[in-house]
Amino acid sequence: MKLGILGYGNLGRGVESAIRQNDDMELVCIFTRRDPASLHPATEGVAVYSVDEIPNMQGKIDVLVLCGGSATDLPEQTPEYAKYFNVIDSFDTHARIPEHFANVDQTAKEHGHVAMISCGWDPGMFSIMRLYGSAVLPEGNDYTFWGKGVSQGHSDAIRRVAGVKNGKQYTVPVEEALSSVRNGENPTLTTRQKHTRECFVVAEEGADLARIEQEIKSMPNYFADYDTTVHFISEEEFMEKHAGIPHGGFVFRTGVTGLTTEHHHVIEYSLKLDSNPEFTSSVILAFARAIYRLSKEGVSGCKSVFDIAPAYLSPLSGEELRAHLL
Amino acid sequence: MKLGILGYGNLGRGVESAIRQNDDMELVCIFTRRDPASLHPATEGVAVYSVDEIPNMQGKIDVLVLCGGSATDLPEQTPEYAKYFNVIDSFDTHARIPEHFANVDQTAKEHGHVAMISCGWDPGMFSIMRLYGSAVLPEGNDYTFWGKGVSQGHSDAIRRVAGVKNGKQYTVPVEEALSSVRNGENPTLTTRQKHTRECFVVAEEGADLARIEQEIKSMPNYFADYDTTVHFISEEEFMEKHAGIPHGGFVFRTGVTGLTTEHHHVIEYSLKLDSNPEFTSSVILAFARAIYRLSKEGVSGCKSVFDIAPAYLSPLSGEELRAHLL
C-alpha cells in the first residue's frame, strides 16, 4: 500500500520510520506547508510537495496520514483531504471527537473514502482497552493513568512563564494509587491523588527562581490541582537528560462476577514507551492497513479504532492468525 | 437477546451468573446430558431440558453457549448445534483450532448462523493482545505467562497418582522472568525459566509421601520440565484454602522503533482473576452479543475473536462509545 504523510514534525518523522518496519507499505511522498526544498526526508527517493499539490496526487496514494495538531490543523485537514484519499489522523481533543467524527464522516462518505480519526494510544489503544474492559466486566470501575512521560501541553505552559529558557514536564502516576487499584480496592481518587507533575526548568540568567516556581505551581488547569515539583537545571543537563519524548500509562478495569458478586477481577494494560510519537505512528500504520482493506471492500465513511476487527490490523491471513496467535 | 446454555458445570454456572449482569440478555434454558430433574439452576424460572430437545428450541434462542470440554464435547457439539442456532464455545486445544474452525464454519454457513470458537481469555483476550501487539510493533518479541492460577489438567494429573486423595496445582510465573521481559531485556526463556508448578496434595492415610512426590515431579509433559514443589496438607486445609479456581497471566509485546531502531517499547496486558470460569463466561457473553448482532446483519459462518470489531461487544451505541470511551 502507498502512503503519504502531511506534516513533517515529530509524528510525521515517526510515521516515516515506522513505514520502513512494514514490508507491505511504501512511503510515496511528504506534503508540507513549509518550503518543500527545506525538508530532507530520512528515506531516499521520497518526494516532498507543497500542500497545494495534494489534490494532484489523487489515485497515487492509498492512505494519507495526517500528522498535524488537534487544535487547528486536523479539524480543517481531515475532512478536506478525505475528499481525495483514505485518511487517518490522531485527533486527541476528547471533547470534540463527536463533532470531528461527524464532519469527517460526511466528506468521506460523499467521496467514497474511509477515514479514521483519533488513532494512537490515547485516544487509541487505551480506548480499545476501556471498551473491552467495560464490555467484559459490566459491573466494575475504570481507571486510566498516564506516565511517566512528557506532556507537551504542560511543557509548553512552563516555557511561557517569564524567565524560563527551556522546560519539560513529566506526568507521573502516583504509586500508591496504582497499587490500590491493582489490589482491587476500587479507590475514589482525586486529581491530586492520581498524578504528580515534575518540571525541569532552565532559567534565564538572573531570573527570580522562587517567582518562576511559584508561577508554575499555581497555574490554573495545568498545575494548581497537582502536587508539582520544580527542578532548576543547567542547559547542558537539560539537553543530556531530557531530550527524549518518553510516555506511557495504565488502563485498568476492575470488576466483580458471581451470583453474589463475590469474585474480583483486575484487568491491567500498560505501555512503557521510549518515544511517544514513534509508538503513536506505529499504531497509526496498523490502522492505516485496516482502513485500506476496508476501502478495497467498498466501505466508506469515518471509523474509530472501535470499528476495526483486530484481524484487519495484521499483514497475516486469517488462517495464519488462527494457527499462530489464537 | 435470548440465550441457552449447554452443560451446567463450572463454565455453565459462570455463564448463568454473568447473564444477570447484562441487562440486554435473558437466559431461556439450560440443556444437559444428565437427568434434567437433577439440575437446579440458580436463576428462577429457567427451564432445564435434555440435550435431545435442542432441535425443538430452534427460533427460541438467539445464541447457544456451549460449555462442554475441548477434548471430546466441543468438536462434536459446536458444528452440530450451529445447525440450529448461533453458537459460541471456548475451545482451547490450540493445535486443533484450524480443524475445528473449518468444521464449524461449514455447518454455520450452510444453516445461515454465526458461530464463534475459542472465546475466553486464552484463547480469547490474550490472543487479541498478541495480535494487537504484533501489528503495532512489527519488530519485537511476544511473551505469554500464565498464573498464578489453577491448572485443571495438572490438578487432574496429580489426582491420578496412586495414594492421592485430592490435589490442586498452581502454575506460577517466575518473577525474575517477568521482570526481565518488563525491563525490555528480550530474554530467551526455557520452559523451566518461565513457570514453576506448585502442588497441594491430600494423601490417603498411610500412603508413601516420598513416592507420591517423586511420581508427580517426574511426570513427563506435566511436571518433569518444571521446578515443582509438592506440599502435603490436610483435607481441612485443602477445603479451606484451595477451593477456588483463580487464574490469570500476562501478555507482553516488546519492540523497537526509530530510524536506527533505537527506541524500546513494552506493552503489557495482565489478568488477575478470582474465578477463571466466571471471567471466561463474562468474555463469552460480550462476544455472544457481537455474534448476535452480526447474525442480524445477515452474516454467517465461523468467527474468532480476531474478526470482531470492539464496538460490537458493548451495549452502548457508536455515538456513546465515541463520546465516553474514545
Q: What is the pLDDT of residues B29-38, one digit of tens each?
A: 999 999 999 9
- The pLDDT assigned to B201 comes to 98
Q: Which helix (H) or strand (E) holds A155?
A: helix A152-159
Confidence of residue B46 (pLDDT cuts 50, 70, 90): very high
Edge-to-edge strand list for the sheet holding A86-88: A47-50, A26-32, A2-6, A63-66, A86-88, A114-116, A301-303
Q: How confident is the model over B236-254, as pLDDT tens digits?
A: 999 999 999 999 999 999 9
Identify all chain B residues contacting A268, using CB atoms and an 8 Å cutoff: 268-272
CB contact under 8 A, A313 and B132: yes
- The pLDDT assigned to B57 comes to 97
User: What is the pTM assigned to this prediction?
Assistant: 0.97
- The pLDDT assigned to A247 comes to 98
Please give the average per-residue pLDDT across B100-124, as a whole number: 98
- The pLDDT assigned to A151 comes to 94
Residue of A nearest to B130 (CA): A325
This model of the complex carries an ipTM of: 0.97
- The pLDDT assigned to B102 comes to 98
- The pLDDT assigned to B2 comes to 98
CB contact under 8 A, A125 and B137: no
- The pLDDT assigned to B255 comes to 97
- Measure CB to CB from residue A17 to each of B42, B136, B257 and give the nearest one: B257
Q: How confident is the model over B173-205, as pLDDT tens digits?
A: 999 999 999 999 999 999 999 999 999 999 999
- The pLDDT assigned to A61 comes to 97
- The pLDDT assigned to A163 comes to 97
Distance CA A226, CA A215 (A): 14
- The pLDDT assigned to A172 comes to 98
Cell of A228: 508539582
Identify all chain B residues contacting A258, using CB atoms and an 8 Å cutoff: 17, 275, 278
Is the torsion defined by CA of B219, B222, B224, B228 positive or negative? negative
- Below-50 pLDDT ranges, chain A: none
CB contact under 8 A, B272 and A275: no
Task: Give start and end residues of each alpha helix (H) in chain B.
Answer: 10-19, 73-81, 97-110, 125-136, 152-159, 175-182, 191-194, 209-217, 235-241, 276-296, 318-324
- The pLDDT assigned to A30 comes to 98
- The pLDDT assigned to A37 comes to 96
CB contact under 8 A, B258 and A123: no
- The pLDDT assigned to B122 comes to 96
CB contact under 8 A, B278 and A257: yes
- The pLDDT assigned to A24 comes to 98
In chain B, % of residues over pLDDT 70:
100
- Mean pLDDT, chain A, whole residue set: 97
